Structure 1
Amino acid sequence: MVSIQDLHKSFGKNTVLSGVNLNINKGGIFTVLGPNGSGKTTLIKVILGMVIPNKGTISVLQENISYNSNYRHKIDYLPQIANFPNNLKVRELIKMIKDLRGQTEQDKALIERFKLEPFLDKKLGNLSGGTKQKVNLVLTFMFDSPLIILDEPTTGLDPISLIRLKTLIQSEKAKGKTIIITSHIMSFVEEVSDEIVFLLEGQIYFKGSINELKSKTDQPDFEHAIASILSDNYA
């Protein structure tokens, strides 16, 4: 599904990714973790073709992304911060995205799931952060793509919407889709992830299941395992 070999990326003198090798197979939920500045966002943007690496080979959906951009149409992406036009109504934004990407009826079920009906005729600039995130989720999941990338999807969500999101992610996984997530919410990560990738100083420190990480760090729970990695490397 995603294959990355010897990936390097620097911004000026700042090396962000240094020799990353990563294979993510089809199907399942993979979470990318790491402290601020570890390269998570850059790695996601490289996969999306939004950042050009200095070196490395990246294939997504069996296509080398250096040679074409067609693969992007098979990815649904939820950015951490959605910059919507403030003067558009929610209904107008959804219609605009459907006109750009293709018609779908899945938006109706998602609007119902996240209880957005009362907000459809409200301008995006007048919505709360949590409601904007629900709109963001509708735009992401309303197309039936095989690869879904979610950057901090829980931001601003109330507990009920969070439960609905977790159920939605699991249902997409059941369809055989591959879902890549970044998140700082350890309880969410532990609940949904099949496998985690931990980035540290631009390199992959660990790739495997949460149980394997707890065993490697000799820690009883996930949060202490993560804390152990950070304290060992930043003590």
Structure 2
Amino acid sequence: MADPVGAGLTSPEPTTPHAVQLRDVWLRLGREVILRSVTVDVPAGQGVTLLGENGAGKTTLLRVVASALRPTRGEGRVLGFDLRDGRSVREVIHLMPVDAGLYPDLSCAENLEFALRVYGQPGNVRAALARVGLEGAATRRVRHLSAGMRKRLALARAWLLARPVTLVDEPFANLDDAGRALVIELLRDLQGRGVALLIAAHEPELARQVAPHALRLTGGQLVEA
């Protein structure tokens, strides 16, 4: 899946589109090197599971792909858009962070409505809440939800937006067995709609049900799992 480290990055060929392409990406934060020569291709519409211990750099790598962090060295593209063109990248990508990234003073419905306005797209908020079993919590503020309910709401947002590239950080955390089954179902649904997934998880047996190809970050370096 990954090209040789340091290979040049060219525009995706029409017959083999890629959702994500990184070439020799390094990231240094202060004196610490977080990512080391990361090179990877994620084909459009497919899924990759990203494994690694705490502190290995999984969340950081997702933030680099989402253009929230700029690489110290190297280059990358998301659906052909250069990572340095953050505005274009953010229009085709959605990051679901481990803390859900919700607005605590907005209700469940308001959070989803706001996400739709940000991306300038229509969507059925009521159906999305029902899809994750939160139809009865539409008017509740997020700050009053349990961790599991917040995770479900974040999943509803990702499902509602269905961005072509969706990055998911620890989707199974704070969920019971029913919640984890729902995660798998929703992520499979997204893949069925042509969404490429990059999933950082500590539960490889669950994540690989959706994204069977696995890569592991060790010491900031990406290797085949």
- TM-score bucket of the superposed structures, by smaller chain: 0.7 to 0.9
Secondary structure in structure 1 of the residue aligned to 2:63: helix
Structure 2 residue 48 is matched with structure 1 residue 48: no
Runs of 4+ in 1 over 4 A off after TM superposition: none
For 1:1-235, what aligned pairs fall within 5 Å after superposition? 1-206=19-224
For residues 76 and 70 of structure 1, what CA distance do their matches in structure 2 show?
12
Shift of 1:93: 2.1
Residue type matched to 2:104 in 1?
Answer: N
**Counterpart-to-counterpart distance in 1, 2:216 and 2:69:** 20
1:74-117 CA-partner distances (Å, limit 9, x unpaired)? 11221111343433222222222222222422433321121101
User: How far does residue 68 in structure 1 lie from its aligned partner after superposition?
Assistant: 4.7
Change (3 A) 1:103 1:204: closer
For 1:220, the equivalent position in structure 2 comes to none
Q: Which runs of 5+ in 1 are unaligned?
A: 207-212, 214-235
User: How far off is 1:5 after superposition?
Assistant: 0.8
Deviations 1:162-212 (A, max 9, x none): 212211211221232211100111321232222011111111221xxxxxx
Higher helix proportion: 1
1 CA distance for matches of 2:189 and 2:109? 25
TM-fit CA distance, 1:123: 1.6
Q: Percent identity?
A: 25
2:162–2:190: 8 Å Cα contact kept in structure 1?
no
Q: Distance in 1 between matches of 2:90 and 2:194?
A: 18
CA distance in 1, matches of 2:192, 2:139: 33
CA RMSD of aligned residues (A): 1.7
Change (3 A) 1:87 1:190: closer
Contact kept in structure 2, 1:106 and 1:143, CA below 8 Å: no
Any conservation in 1 of the 2:51–2:204 contact (CA below 8 Å)? no
Q: Give the AA of the match of 1:30.
A: V
Q: Deviations over 1:113-155 (max 9, x none)?
A: 2110111111211111111111111112211321111111112
TM-score normalized with structure 1 length: 0.82
Q: Which position in structure 1 is the counterpart of 2:6?
A: none
Contact in 2 for aligned 1:76/1:141 (Cα 8 Å)? no
User: Separation in 2 of the partners of 1:51 and 1:184?
Assistant: 23
The structure number with the bigger radius of gyration is 1
**Counterpart Cα distance in 1 of 2:93 and 2:70:** 18
Give the length in aligned residue pairs: 207
Secondary structure of 1:156 counterpart: coil
Matched-pair contact (CA < 8 Å) for 2:102–2:154: no
